[in-house]
Chain A
Amino acid sequence: MSSRNSSVSKGVDWTVVALYAILVAIGILCIFMVEYRSGSNWLQLFLGGKTNYSKQVIFAGFCTLVAAFILMADSKLFTAFANLAYALGILLMLATFVIGKDIKGSRSWIAMGGGFNLQPAELCKIFVSLALAKYLSMQNTDFSKLKSQLIAGGIVLLPAVLSRLQHETGLALVYLSFFIAMYREGLPAGILVTGISFGALVVATLIVDPNVLAITLTIIAILIIYFTRRQIKRNSKLLLIIIATWAVCVGVQRFAVPYIFNNVFECYQSQRIYSAVGKDYDCSQNKHNKIESATPGAKAYKPDDYNVRQSKIAIGSGGFWGRGFLKGTQTRGKYVPEQHSDFIFTSLGEAFGFVGCAIFLLLYFFLLIRITVIAERQRSTFSRVYAYGVASVMFFHLAVNVCMTIGLFPIIGIALPLISYGGSSLLTFTVLIFILLRLDADRQMVLR
């Protein structure tokens, strides 16, 4: 028995376990701060199990159990069932279209009984990580080939599309983070650069006046042609490429972006994106809104950045040292919507100020760097890809969530890993991390 125990704990990276435990504890503390009301008997409420923080403690206990099982499992199990798990995840996501439960306008939940609900799109991150790792680690996969890249992209994007169909834009975006892992495995940097450039162009379209931007783009194109005129003389195709790029950019800026904002996005989504860059979106241009307003009695949306404003006020009012534990007025007055889940970072920011936020972020940063270090020391491709998948997903969640609370990113429903209230989210990241730890503990074994 003792030999069994030692083999389980042997090679486990306890640093990650400790960071995990600290972060989960911080999360429960933050939820407690949000829920706490002065004068109420919090201990009684806590033991009553009706409050969110006591539920989160129960989730944490359950996750500890799951983590223990994972550590005791055989690491070969994960490679073996990777594809099957992926198929199961997709099946569950499809199932939500039929048996899904409607929570806050999104049919992405499956009722588990006892008041607990499961979000398959959340769990699917694990399966995608495993499946991607499995595919890339296969002997006959040559990732430098376009076909392999497309298949890998397909594995990642399928759940993303399903999530989008369930109106979970945030979760859909998370799957894009796997491109970071793929980049590590040799995906051409050009794709990432193009993606980032496209993002920059869209942001520029929102901020800068369309005509000014068009002229700027034209000037840039002319300057490039001027400086590369020697190369163009040698290779006339280059001129064609530059002009095509210019045409695409202007096209995106003049037509594609307004079209997407007015016709593809819902009015509130356009508003959120605009408010993230500090602008107002006129909802009367939105197609969905037009359809709605055609029906009598429907009111046009007002430009509203209440969430971001209150969230920034909460974090900003924390100051350098913070207002102190349970002393935040924004938190106590429930000014920030969804503060226990997506906006949990605001309670931390208000109570503990810049110092608290910085310490928290450094802890997180340390965890992420630790995971990449673990990834690089893996012998097997499977373990490495999987580790990068975990790091990418967690990084994406953290960056987007924190950026949206401090007004650097539009508001999309993405939880702060290990901190936000929610069983599905906590379970997902627990499983992700502990599978990694199990794989890492067995890194001497060569896995396929």
Chain B
Amino acid sequence: MSVFNQSRGRVVQIIFGAVFVIILIQLINLQVFSAKYKLAAENNAIYRKIIYPDRGIIFDRKRRAMLENTISYDLVVTPVESKGTDTLALCQLLNIDTVEYKKRMREIVFKNTSVKPSVFEALLSQELFAKLYENMYKFPGFNLIDRSVRTYPYNTGAQVLGYIAEVDTGFLRRHREEGYEMGDYAGMNGLERTYEKVLMGVRGIKRYIRDNKSRIQGPYENGMFDTTAVAGRNLYTSVDVEVQQLAEKLLANKIGSAVAINPKTGGIIAMVSSPNYNPNDLTGSARRKNLGRMLLDTSRPMFNRAIKGQYPPGSTFKPLGAVIALDEGLITPNYGVSCFGSYTNCGVLVRCEHNNAGHAANLRLALANSCNSYFSDIFRKAIDNPDYKNPTGGYLKWKEYMNAFGMGTKLDVDLPSEDRASVPDTAVYNRAYGKNRWNSCTILTLGIGQDKMTSTPMQLANMMCVIANKGSYYTPHFVDSIEHEEAEDKAVLAKYREKHIVTHTSDTVFRAVHDGMHDVTVYGTAAAIKVPGVEYCAKTGTAQNPHGKNHSIFVCFAPKDNPTIAVAVVVENAGYGSTWAGPIGAFMMEKYLNDTIATDRLAEVERISNTDLVPSAIKEWYVRKDNQRQARLALEAANKAAQMNEEEENADKLPNAVPKTEEPKKEKDSKKSTKANIALYLHADDRFKVKKSKA
């Protein structure tokens, strides 16, 4: 029998062998030909931790840090480890109730599982951190994780510096290839936005091995594949923090803007838009509290009027009108007109402040006296220039000059969303009057900086630079140099180091303009405004506008013979240029040139700073807003007393809903001119009233 079955022993061995072969084939399949398992193992076990580098610092011209990095803390929780936490004590510290605590925990577990750490409370305030830190032993599973945030030691330059914020999905979509991830912070405005790539630095990645419950076991391969974080590079700007601070102080309680540029380099010394905000209000835990309020504020503190506000330049345009006429060869500095208090050659009456004979006998006198007749006359000469067949041709040449001076075009400053303001195209006039049916008379007031012409304060300051430099300018910019400048950075900064030559007039011709502007400060409209020890040139403007009182405008540069600062100041609806804008510009020059304000003038600084020139419409808005909040709080209190929780929520929603619906409308309209803004808000407030009465 056993002999018969001997062959079966072989069969058994073959069965053994066959199964081994099958196993080996599957092993080859798994281990040699399937790459996915290796990948799956890495996804399982390797935890990539992003190491955030310190963002670059922004320095002013004297190497003072306008912003710095400090550590803020997040309260982070790992839900599975949080058993035994003194929930009540934690809630008391965080000022939340246990219902809120449970809700947050549920959300965290739902979003990020219960074994991974998640942020429970982000960006703790200093005192909250201190309180929590003392009591951490009561809260197992909770940790305080540090994170770098910006602080602003000088509390200044908010709109210029911009702010950083956590990236949202829209940002990630727009910057897909740049390696941002959810939870990253990026510059959202101002210099932070423009120089994001420089300031950001390079993020490092550390790899750790984690176990099946996502607990870190140690570095992966002893850190062989880790990359180190490279800190962001610093920016060195031309800003003078003290001038900036002074200008902000002077413009307090006013709506307006001031820009100071160094004509020799194009570097911006100060750029202020008022109302302003403290940049520290938008960092760390303060941001959540303040951002919404600031976006809703009708005076729009987030709006940089220096590059986005559009104002008719008024008389401050006159030196430029003169330069254009001179450069076109239409007049000489000796050209004069006889004016007796008005310009009547066009049928319409353009009034002039002066009527004594000879106040416009030459360019210098005309500038010093700001003769409307004179500048209307030379504007007409430019439009009716015989070199061009018709007014359209003359106007196009004039507009070309204007654009060359940076008026009506973007100057390309290193801030995002600069506005080009307006030097109207011929199409605008064709539409208004019909093709070829307009002439130098119909657009006459352009010659004195009115009509449809608008410009931003920065453009006005740049105009002053061109005149101060006798016909050339550098594109206004903040950043002079970047730390460890690379070829790439040099390419970015090249446009700010290139001299733009605008006119081909001789220096002697410019001297007449300078002298005229100097005379303004000696016996003209700015005679009362002095800068101790400095001879300067200036021009005041009192721009008519359709939205109330005249804008007070002042442009100037100093010192007269070797200008190193050119300033433009606009104070909205404040009246004469010499009363408000003038002194502000003078103080800025004094601070920059003398490095200090003469002690006897400090009282004047305080007086200007404290004077409230905010238009009544905006003040009314604040009052109404405040009343509403009071009413809401009263209602809430009443409801709470009645313990009607549900109704309390409704009451809460109702007043809040109104400004929310207003918001998108505002944003859309903000693209239109600033001048329209106040009217818009008045309009918006009217609707507000209607809704409120309905409510």
Partners in one complex: yes
Interface residues of A in 277-311 (CB under 8 A from B): 310
Interface residues of B in 405-459 (CB under 8 A from A): none
B-side contacts of A144, CB under 8 Å: 1
B-side contacts of A264, CB under 8 Å: none
> A332-B211, A406-B26 given as contacts; is B41 within 8 A of A313 (CB)?
yes
Q: Roughly how many angstroms separate A430 CA and B19 CA in the complex, as a whole number?
A: 24
Q: Roughly how many angstroms separate A402 CA and B456 CA in the complex, as a whole number?
A: 78
Interface centre among A329, A330, A365, A388 (most CB of B within 10 A): A329
> A316-B38, A368-B16 given as contacts; is B26 within 8 A of A184 (CB)?
no
B-side contacts of A330, CB under 8 Å: 41, 44-45
A-side contacts of B31, CB under 8 Å: 315-316, 318-320, 349, 353-354, 357
Nearest to B36 among chain A residues (CB) is A316
Q: Is B666 in the interface zone, CB < 8 Å from A?
A: no
Q: Is A163 in the interface zone, CB < 8 Å from B?
A: no
A406 pairs with B30, CB closer than 8 A: yes
B-side contacts of A320, CB under 8 Å: 31-32
CB < 8 Å neighbour of A316 from B2, B24, B37, B211 = B37
B27 pairs with A357, CB closer than 8 A: yes
Interface centre among A313, A354, A368, A376 (most CB of B within 10 A): A313
Other A-B pairs beyond A330-B44, A381-B2, A388-B12, 10, CB < 8 Å:
A37-B217, A186-B8, A316-B36, A320-B31, A329-B45, A330-B45, A354-B27, A358-B27, A384-B2, A399-B19
A183 pairs with B12, CB closer than 8 A: yes
Q: Is A53 in the interface zone, CB < 8 Å from B?
A: no
How near does chain B come to A391, taking the closest CB pair, in angstroms? Answer: 7
B20 pairs with A184, CB closer than 8 A: no
Q: Is B482 in the interface zone, CB < 8 Å from A?
A: no
Interface residues of B in 7-26 (CB under 8 A from A): 8-9, 11-13, 15-17, 19-20, 22-24, 26
**21 sample A-B contacts, Cβ–Cβ < 8 Å, listed by A number:** A183-B11, A184-B5, A185-B5, A186-B8, A312-B30, A313-B37, A313-B40, A315-B37, A317-B38, A332-B217, A333-B212, A333-B217, A349-B27, A357-B27, A365-B20, A369-B13, A369-B16, A392-B12, A403-B22, A403-B26, A406-B30
Q: Roughly how many angstroms separate A376 CA and B6 CA in the complex, as a whole number?
A: 8
A-side contacts of B5, CB under 8 Å: 184-186
> A313-B40, A381-B2 given as contacts; is B45 within 8 A of A333 (CB)?
yes
B24 pairs with A317, CB closer than 8 A: no
B-side contacts of A406, CB under 8 Å: 23, 26-27, 30
B-side contacts of A349, CB under 8 Å: 27, 31
Interface residues on B, range: 35 or more
Q: Is A170 in the interface zone, CB < 8 Å from B?
A: no
A335 pairs with B38, CB closer than 8 A: no
Q: Is A153 in the interface zone, CB < 8 Å from B?
A: no
Instruction: Count chain A residues whose beta carbon lies closer than 8 angstroms to a beta carbon of B.
Output: 51
Nearest to B218 among chain A residues (CB) is A38
Q: Is B122 in the interface zone, CB < 8 Å from A?
A: no
Interface residues of A in 165-202 (CB under 8 A from B): 180, 183-186
Q: Roughly how many angstroms separate A381 CA and B3 CA in the complex, as a whole number?
A: 12
B23 pairs with A361, CB closer than 8 A: yes
B44 pairs with A335, CB closer than 8 A: yes
Interface residues of A in 386-425 (CB under 8 A from B): 388, 391-392, 395, 399, 402-403, 406-408
Q: Roughly how many angstroms separate A330 CA and B32 CA in the complex, as a whole number?
A: 17
Q: Is A372 in the interface zone, CB < 8 Å from B?
A: yes
Interface residues of A in 328-355 (CB under 8 A from B): 329-330, 332-335, 349-350, 353-354
B12 pairs with A372, CB closer than 8 A: yes
Q: Roughly how many angstroms separate A363 CA and B30 CA in the complex, as a whole number?
A: 21
The 8 A CB mask of B22-55 against A (1 = contact, 0 = none) is 1110111011101011101110111000000000
Q: Roughly how many angstroms separate A333 CA and B210 CA in the complex, as a whole number?
A: 6
A-side contacts of B6, CB under 8 Å: 376
Q: Is B209 in the interface zone, CB < 8 Å from A?
A: yes
B-side contacts of A372, CB under 8 Å: 9, 12-13, 16
How near does chain B come to A420, taking the closest CB pair, in angstroms? Answer: 17
Q: Roughly how many angstroms separate A330 CA and B210 CA in the complex, as a whole number?
A: 9
Nearest to B4 among chain A residues (CB) is A186
Which B residues are within 8 Å of any A CB, using their own CB? Answer: 1-2, 4-6, 8-9, 11-13, 15-17, 19-20, 22-24, 26-28, 30-32, 34, 36-38, 40-42, 44-46, 209-212, 217-218, 220
Which A residues are within 8 Å of any B CB, using their own CB? Answer: 37-39, 143-144, 180, 183-186, 310, 312-320, 329-330, 332-335, 349-350, 353-354, 357-358, 361, 365, 368-369, 372, 375-376, 381, 384, 388, 391-392, 395, 399, 402-403, 406-408
Q: Roughly how many angstroms separate A316 CA and B43 CA in the complex, as a whole number?
A: 14
A365 pairs with B17, CB closer than 8 A: yes
B-side contacts of A354, CB under 8 Å: 27-28, 31-32
B44 pairs with A315, CB closer than 8 A: no
Closest A-B pairs by Cβ, 8 of them: A316-B37, A317-B41, A329-B45, A333-B211, A354-B31, A316-B30, A333-B45, A313-B40
How near does chain A come to B587, taking the closest CB pair, in angstroms? Answer: 66
How near does chain A come to B210, taking the closest CB pair, in angstroms? Answer: 6
A-side contacts of B218, CB under 8 Å: 38-39
B26 pairs with A316, CB closer than 8 A: no
How near does chain A come to B29, taking the closest CB pair, in angstroms? Answer: 9
How near does chain B come to A112, taking the closest CB pair, in angstroms? Answer: 32
Q: Roughly how many angstroms separate A424 CA and B219 CA in the complex, as a whole number?
A: 38
B-side contacts of A408, CB under 8 Å: 22-23, 26
How near does chain A come to B431, taking the closest CB pair, in angstroms? Answer: 69
Q: Roughly how many angstroms separate A407 CA and B25 CA in the complex, as a whole number?
A: 12
B41 pairs with A184, CB closer than 8 A: no
Q: Roughly how many angstroms separate A183 CA and B42 CA in the complex, as a whole number?
A: 47
Nearest to A317 among chain B residues (CB) is B41
Q: Roughly how many angstroms separate A330 CA and B42 CA in the complex, as a whole number?
A: 9
Q: Roughly how many angstroms separate A332 CA and B41 CA in the complex, as a whole number?
A: 11
B-side contacts of A365, CB under 8 Å: 16-17, 20
A38 pairs with B23, CB closer than 8 A: no
Nearest to A355 among chain B residues (CB) is B31
> A38-B217, A180-B12, A319-B31 given as contacts; is B24 within 8 A of A313 (CB)?
no
Q: Roughly how many angstroms separate A315 CA and B8 CA in the complex, as a whole number?
A: 35
Q: Roughly how many angstroms separate A350 CA and B38 CA in the complex, as a whole number?
A: 10
How near does chain A come to B36, taking the closest CB pair, in angstroms? Answer: 7
A-side contacts of B32, CB under 8 Å: 319-320, 354
How near does chain B come to A46, taking the closest CB pair, in angstroms? Answer: 20
How near does chain B come to A432, taking the closest CB pair, in angstroms? Answer: 17
A329 pairs with B209, CB closer than 8 A: yes
A-side contacts of B8, CB under 8 Å: 183-184, 186
CB < 8 Å neighbour of A333 from B1, B38, B209 = B209
How near does chain A come to B616, taking the closest CB pair, in angstroms? Answer: 67
B-side contacts of A334, CB under 8 Å: 211-212
B-side contacts of A399, CB under 8 Å: 19, 23
A184 pairs with B9, CB closer than 8 A: yes
A-side contacts of B46, CB under 8 Å: 329
B-side contacts of A381, CB under 8 Å: 2
> A329-B45, A376-B6 given as contacts; is B40 within 8 A of A317 (CB)?
yes
Q: Roughly how many angstroms separate A143 CA and B5 CA in the complex, as a whole number?
A: 12
A-side contacts of B45, CB under 8 Å: 329-330, 332-333, 335
Q: Roughly how many angstroms separate A353 CA and B9 CA in the complex, as a whole number?
A: 32
Q: Roughly how many angstroms separate A312 CA and B13 CA in the complex, as a whole number?
A: 28
How near does chain A come to B100, taking the closest CB pair, in angstroms? Answer: 28
> A184-B8, A349-B31 given as contacts; is B210 within 8 A of A395 (CB)?
no
> A312-B30, A317-B41 given as contacts; is B15 within 8 A of A376 (CB)?
no
B-side contacts of A369, CB under 8 Å: 13, 16
Q: Roughly how many angstroms separate A314 CA and B12 CA in the complex, as a whole number?
A: 32
CB < 8 Å neighbour of A317 from B16, B37, B212 = B37
B-side contacts of A315, CB under 8 Å: 27, 30-31, 37
Nearest to B5 among chain A residues (CB) is A186
Q: Roughly how many angstroms separate A445 CA and B349 CA in the complex, as a whole number?
A: 142
Q: Roughly how many angstroms separate A313 CA and B38 CA in the complex, as a whole number?
A: 7
B-side contacts of A318, CB under 8 Å: 31
B38 pairs with A319, CB closer than 8 A: yes
